[in-house]
Structure 1
Amino acid sequence: MKFFLVFFFAFSTWFVSSQTNLSGLWQGVLMKDGAKELEYTVFFLQLDVQGNNVTGKTREEFYKTDFYTIQRVKGSAESNQLKLQQLTVEKKKVSSKLSVCSMDFQLAYIDSTGYLTGKYVSNTCRGNTGKIVLYRSKARFQEADTVTIGHYWRDRFLTDLKKGRKAPEIQELERKNFQFQPIYFDYDQAEIKPEYYAFLSKMARVVSGHSDLRIRITGHTDADGSDAYNDDLSAKRAKAIQDYFLKCGLESFKVVIDFKGEKLPVGSNQTPEGKQQNRRVDFEFI
């Protein structure tokens, strides 16, 4: 798929840095070459990495069914890269129309996105090749026949990939570590200065990366002018930021604007420096 090739085929150059602890549960999708999106299967990978040795299990679930296979895996790890092989089918529930295939995987953890991604080739089913993208999961590996984790997240995950969003744990870190700063305006103006574009674009990416995160934009002015005039000017400043976010692709429902005019100064309106501090827009996540 095009979105996968564009966003993830940095896999071909595999940029990895310091060794990351890859033990634990990962979940995502297997994208069989030539298959339609509805045919992509849900995939869980439980890893135990001890030095260069890797053991674990996989659970492949067929989308919107209760069919699955559990297989034992073994492989090696080096510099955030994994080579894995499915060895034994330990458990399965499949229909007569489904083939149970064992795969060899070549995976790499990408620090910048938080994804464990790569390729697979079946060692039992001829012509079965594809791509795999996984993210670190907070769930528990399931051995039961019943699918206890619904597949609702799969479609949202594929949407995240198409939009170039990072893995959930990286999104959460970016949100927690994001440092807000005011955007300042020239006297009696509501135009955004180009020096703030990079910061605003980064903020838009963080908000866009969370389905349940919104941002409040609050406009302010100095004390020059009437209350009514300053209320209108502060609204225009907030609206300018909103328009910029929308141009960045941020959905309108994720942006809330507010304006306070001259009512909430952070500096003295008796000095030029203080007035400049008051001609601003502030932000907060909601």
Structure 2
Amino acid sequence: MIVAADGKTAYYASDRSDSRGGLDLYTFELRDDIRPARTLWVKGRVYDRSTRKGLPSSVVLTDLNTRQIISNLQTDETGNYLITLPKGKDYAFNVKRKGYLFFSDNYSLSREQGDTAFNVDIPLQPIEANAAIVLKNIFFETNKYELKPQSEAELNNVVQLLKDNPTLRIQINGHTDNSGKTADNQLLSENRAKAVTTYLVSKGIAAARLAFKGFGDTVPVADNSTPEGRAQNRRTELKVISR
């Protein structure tokens, strides 16, 4: 029996006494008390950013609130993947491969409708000087620099990256949107970047391998005139100093 992504429609094949020529297909609606969560899904291809060659990689889905891994799967040999997202949770989505910076994204599905597919092709960056990624699952309260618990999964990915590459040196860069005073934004971005490095040191990473810098609102990547643009500008980046 197969249950559709809407969580209520079931299909099955059967060769009952009234079947003609083989299996017949049947469908029915599941009772409310046994329906699974509605699901969405993400599919795409992982590839090398420079060569565009497909990369077999690990795709990890983590529940941001519980920090529990929901799914850990491998792409096929050409980098293609398909992963389901049960509705009603918020997820960290990471793609990893040895020798590359991991890919970071998140999906907030607490209120998202089902029966939706995301197509996400993922270029991985080789670990080399000046390579950088945005850590999309680092979270702070507004105008504060204390790390929220939901940041733990992403932070631990950075810890593992540094442990797997023991000579790697990185810089954590903090950025804000242009709300508020420029001086306040500068200080906030520095404190947020410092909070990340402090966490990494607490997990056994040598401080000499880490640097941090705040840029305030001086390096926007989107238009600050919209809420979506401001959200993109409030970000934490990891930049490779040397490998």
- The structure, 1 or 2, with the larger RCO (C-alpha pairs under 8 Å, 6+ apart) is 2
Higher helix share: 1
TM range (shorter): 0.3 to 0.5
